[in-house]
Structure 1
Amino acid sequence: MNRTELREQIFQLLFRVEFNSKEEMMEQEELFTTEGDLEFSKSDADYIRDKYEKIADKLEEIDKAINEKAVGWETSRMAKVDLTIIRLAVYEIKFDETVPTGVAINEAVELAKKFGQDGSPAFVNGVLAKFAQ
């Protein structure tokens, strides 16, 4: 899988955080990488799990940063798809030195076009632009 495809899979796994407890997410990780619709190579499955776990470990810090930058919007009021995309991109911007900020934002907007609502790409881009400044 290329990085865009891997990022999409990480987004889909990270989205499950909204519907499962922290304890249940270990099982969700396993189910996602072994019994989902796609078959992953061991290296792809390991990459997806590793990046998901790194993001999950920093969710509180990521949400705090989003709440500080997204004036007029609290993470609790954001659409779950948009929030998940923003969380992934904020992690990449703040903590993943292998992903340039512009790439993280562009990839997030593409995820919003694919999975979000009509206004999602503009909303995601607007929030993430504040992290690029």
Structure 2
Amino acid sequence: MSRRLAREQVFTLLFQIDFTDSFEEGTEQIERYLAQYPDIESLDTNFILEELEGIRQHQDKIDTTLEKYSEGWKVTRMGKVDRAILRLAVYEIFYATDIPVSVSINEAVELAKKFGEDSSPSFINAVLGKIVQQESLDGYDE
């Protein structure tokens, strides 16, 4: 499975977890979801679980960052698709040091094109662009 497809699985799980409002309640969901795909390689499973655990650990900081840069949008008012994509991307930008910032942004926009509303790609690109610009993140190549 490619990293892109594994990231899509992370997004799908984040989206599902958002309906339970709790990662703890979502843990059982994650196990059931991954059990449906026995062909997922252990390397991909590890990536998926590491991303989800990282997002869980840093969710408060991620949400604070999103509210700071989304100009008047509270995280709770964002659509569930956009919120899941943004949480994943912000986690990767700040905490997944092996993933280039530009890749995280591009992948987030691609997820938005595939799963979001018509306005999702531009909204997500704008929020992530502001975060990267204002935080002066190294390695960002527009």
Is 1:33–1:39's contact at 8 Å kept on the other side of the alignment? Answer: no
How far apart, in 1, do the equivalents of 2:104 and 2:23 lie?
Answer: 26
Give the drift of 1:129: 0.6
CA contact (8 A) 1:67 1:74 kept: yes
Q: Please state if 1:132 is matched with 2:132.
A: yes
After TM superposition, the structure 1 = structure 2 runs for residues 1-133 of structure 1, keeping only pairs within 5 Å, are 1-20=1-20, 21-35=22-36, 39-133=39-133
Partner of 2:137: none
TM-score when scaled to structure 1? 0.93
Q: What is the CA–CA distance in structure 2 between the aligned matches of 1:78 and 1:39, rounded to whole Å?
A: 33
Paired with 2:110 and 2:88, the residues of 1 have a C-alpha distance of 13
After alignment, is 112-121 or 95-104 more displaced? 95-104
**Aligned AA for 1:101?**
V
Residue type matched to 2:78 in 1? M
Deviation at 1:42, TM superposition (A): 2.2
- Give deviations 1:29-59, integer Å, cap 9, x for gaps: 10111125x7312222222112111111111
Contact 1:93–1:131 at 8 Å: present in 2 too? no
| Alpha-carbon shift at residue 69 of structure 1 (Å) | 1.2
Residue 88 of structure 1: CA displacement?
Answer: 0.4
Contact 1:34 1:40 in 2 (8 A): no
Q: CA deviation at 1:18?
A: 1.1
Task: Give a deviation string over 1:107-132, Cα, whole Å, max 9, x none.
Answer: 00000000001111011111111112
Root-mean-square deviation over aligned CA pairs? 1.3
Helix, strand or coil: the match of 1:55?
helix
* Structure 1 residues without counterparts, runs of 5 or longer: none
* Identity across matched positions, percent: 45
Aligned partners of 2:4 and 2:23: how far apart in 1? Answer: 26
* CA–CA distance in structure 1, aligned partners of residues 118 and 39 of structure 2: 30
Identify unmatched segments of 5+ residues in structure 2.
Answer: 134-142
Extract structure 1 runs of 4+ deviating beyond 6 A.
none
How far apart are the structure 2 equivalents of 1:46 and 1:105? 22
